[in-house]
Amino acid sequence: MRIPILKLHKYLLISVQVELDDQTALQFQEDLLNKIHQEGSIGVVIDLTSVEMIDSYIAKVLGDVVEMSNLMGAKVVLTGIQPAVAITLIDMGIMLNEVPTALDLEQGLEKLQQELEG
């Protein structure tokens, strides 16, 4: 299963709508980095509104893809993390401290703009 990655000017937009199994998550990591490289994108928003569960493995893959994208020169913002997911992650002791987040796609794009200007 592949997660679609949409291009919007200099940005990439992803809305994760599938149950994230390990393979899909890893494939996404690779696809996103390739797409950043291809399109020369400077910013990425990954929307997690439809994701009902993030376990430690998926959290690691997401945290890693943010850092990998940063290495390539693209900023990533995660948006739409559900209340239950936020609670579960903190219960687990997973902080994702370095990862920029926003409430929804709209605010995520605003945050990207701020990060890129500042």
Partner 1 sequence: MSIQSNVEVHTEWGIVSARQAGRNLAKDAGFGNVDQARIATAISELARNIYLYAEKGEIVIQYVEDTESPVSKRGIKIIAKDKGPGISNIRDVMEDGFTTSGGLGAGLPGVKRLMDEFDIHSTAGEGTEITAIKWLR
- For the bound state, the minimum distance from the C-beta of residue 20 to partner 1, rounded and expressed in Å, comes to 9
Which is nearest to 16 in space by CA: 81, 96, 68? Answer: 81
104 binds partner 1 (CB under 8 A): no
Candidates 2-10, 65-73, 88-96, 105-113; binding stretch for partner 1 (CB under 8 A): 88-96
Residue 73: both structure tokens together: 């020169």
SS3 label, residue 17? coil
Candidates 27-35, 65-73, 79-87, 99-107; binding stretch for partner 1 (CB under 8 A): 79-87
| Gyration radius (Cα) of the chain, Å | 13
Nearest-angstrom CA–CA distance, 49 and 51:
6
105 binds partner 1 (CB under 8 A): no
Binding site for partner 1 (CB under 8 A): 19, 21-23, 52-57, 59-60, 82-85, 87-88, 91-94
